[in-house]
Amino acid sequence: MVLHDGTQNEISDAEKALVGQRFASFVDIEMLAGRFGGNVRPGDDIMVPTSLLLRRLVAPDEYWVISVEDFRPFSSDLPPAESIIKSILLQRVSGEAGHEIVAYRLGGDAVVRRWDGGDAATHLEHDRQMGVNLPPDEMSEVDLRIRELLGYLLGGRSNRRLEADMGINLQPIGLPELEGLIAFVTHPDAAPAPGI
């Protein structure tokens, strides 16, 4: 996988289109309908695969969770660049804690963008120390209602848009990064996840 370090050149529209086509084909043909077969939903006359969960073991207590999803039939009130049609999500798990999380998302505009969520365990610990985003069992009913209201009002979209506008996150990927992702996901150590 080619990690973004801020020095990559601008990706041409032609390369973005090619990456979008290759990503969609990889998700549909090679992952969901191919090597592993995914979870299915009833279609008109066929069963349409929609999701697949893999685990790639790195060490006895460390592995990557790989989630492949197709969100069709698709409908969204979001602008095409913010809607998600297909995705591959990767998260490193060490012990029982989730760490680095990265998602590759094919948007309604046919462009694949990478979202870097950082270290999930670190974010959760920081939130717990600040008293925000606590698990529901650690919150009062008033806290839960306030959290619900804030989630409804803010929806997290404003931060995602700001990150994208600043070029920090949700940036298009090029062919080298896509090929690295494909090699990572199809590595022989990746197998259907047993009860994650």
Query: Residue 134: what pLDDT?
Result: 60
**Which residues of the chain fall short of a pLDDT of 50?**
1, 42-48, 152
d(CA 186, CA 190): 6
How does DSSP assign 152-166, residue by residue?
HHHTTHHHHHHHHHT
Query: Residue 23: what pLDDT?
Result: 95
- The set of residues, in sequence order, having a beta carbon less than 8 Å from that of 146 and lying 6+ positions away, is none
Tokens 């209201």 belong to residue: 149
Query: Residue 67: what pLDDT?
Result: 87
Query: Residue 181: what pLDDT?
Result: 95
Query: Residue 98: what pLDDT?
Result: 77
pTM score over 0.75: no
d(CA 187, CA 35): 12
| Burial degree of 49 (CB within 10 A; 0-12, 13-18, 19+) | buried
